[in-house]
Structure 1
């Protein structure tokens, strides 16, 4: 009898843990130090990705609306292909509008699968979201002018880095690239970015102690690029946010629903091949 009770308790705890990690969103904080910025210069970036089927609670939306980033990077898959209405998306965008920060969006594969995707896109633009579909722009934060480029979804081969980089002035500027699928790093021109922000993998959704994610779309089993920070050989930094929602299996385990606040800070002593990185 006690064995059955123990098993029941363990199952109950697992269910509670899965429910919490799937439904309650946290804010992860990441620090990036780079010689592209000077002294105490800092750019705060709020990354939001892979909303999918998650209806964010009023408490989470209120928490997001109270944040004060310098810019917001939305890296795709706000909807699923069979979404009936976009109210969840608009509630999120409206909350992010309250931050007062400029918002930038690049598309994901699930966005393109919806026949009314362009309707959502138009509504987002009316709410002030800048859509970066194989284009770039600049933003000035204090004394810092940075490049922000975005490509359409690489997973469905809609990306065009040649077009995104065209006419960009890079000398002395920090360059940020938004790409839904982290496998944009298979394209040679990704190396022109200092920092790439991606989503798409969901961190595997279900993770295992010691092994991490079992699968990630477009990669092999036990993928090399599942979530977190990856310094690349050319000096570019890739950051993969595991995102908010789910697809296929509607559960997360050891991989809580999240958004990320990235602190990109100057480091006048930096002389190596990569910035110093840390997760707070």
Structure 2
């Protein structure tokens, strides 16, 4: 009898934890320090959203909006997969953007899910983003943010779909990355928005100081002290599943994302909003 009660209690606790991991939302904060950050941008705050997947936390996603409002960011960046490849309506995401864009400047890049949409659907999303004054960054774009004649730069990197394949993936992404990041000025602070973090080693060879990415959903299931279990490519224990990483002073922050595609469930992996504060030091 006691054994059965223990099993039932354990199952109930696990079920509750999984439920909360998929219904609650946390804010993960990072302080990024660099001598390259102009003092004019000291305490400049960036909210990083990724992998929203047209999700709904509560009515009209007021939880998301409230948590962002508390952070009071200077800008918001979105690093792709904000909708699903199989969606035919995008109301949740577009309504969230409309509300956020009334208060904040938003910079957006597409992910692999957007790239798989029908052309008419992707065109509709891009048009709606433009109407909300969202800056949609592509490989040919460079955004310069100025404060008293000092700047930080934001680049976007659109990874071709073939680099997301499980099989027959091209082995050399250098040409794709070089075409965007060879333009980075080493004397200025450069931020890269890219959906896929798995090529961090290649990004880090360029004059880019901070890379913001998503895609891996935190590995869906996370094991304490080990990390994420599975990437969207069905690769076990992906190297960059969520959190802060560094190579040669180049920093990568991987968002664990907000939603998930179908089928999907999070375990020990609560959805997150990432809040980043730049510090001159």
Per the TM superposition, whether the score is higher than 0.5 is yes
Which position in structure 2 is the counterpart of 1:138? 144
- State the TM-score, normalizing by the size of structure 2: 0.85
Q: Aligned partners of 1:96 and 1:218: how far apart in 2?
A: 31
Displacement of 1:225 after TM fit? 1.1
**C-alpha offsets along residues 204-232 of structure 1, whole Å, 9 cap, x if unaligned?**
01111232212223584222211111111
| Count of aligned pairs between the two proteins | 264
The one of 123, 127, 151 equivalent to 2:128 is 123
The one of 154, 164, 181 equivalent to 2:180 is 164
The one of 80, 87, 91 equivalent to 1:76 is 80
**C-alpha offsets along residues 131-169 of structure 1, whole Å, 9 cap, x if unaligned?**
11102110124664101000113554498434434755x
Unpaired runs of 5+ residues, structure 2, are 165-172
Instruction: Evaluate the alpha carbon distance shift between residue 119 and residue 186 of structure 1 in structure 2; reply closer, same or farther with a 3 A threshold.
Output: farther
Secondary structure in 2 matching 1:210: coil
Instruction: Evaluate the alpha carbon distance shift between residue 227 and residue 161 of structure 1 in structure 2; reply closer, same or farther with a 3 A threshold.
Output: same
Does residue 271 of structure 2 align to residue 257 of structure 1? Answer: yes
Q: Tell whether the 8 Å contact from 1:56 to 1:88 is kept in structure 2 after alignment.
A: no
Q: Aligned partners of 2:211 and 2:160: how far apart in 1?
A: 13
Which position in structure 2 is the counterpart of 1:7? 7
Q: Tell whether the 8 Å contact from 1:154 to 1:183 is kept in structure 2 after alignment.
A: no
Unpaired runs of 5+ residues, structure 1, are 268-280
Q: Aligned partners of 2:268 and 2:203: how far apart in 1?
A: 33
Secondary structure in 2 matching 1:30: strand
Secondary structure in 2 matching 1:192: coil
Displacement of 1:192 after TM fit? 1.8
Please show how residues 27-66 of structure 1 align to structure 2 within 5 Å: 27-38=27-38, 41-57=42-58, 58-66=62-70
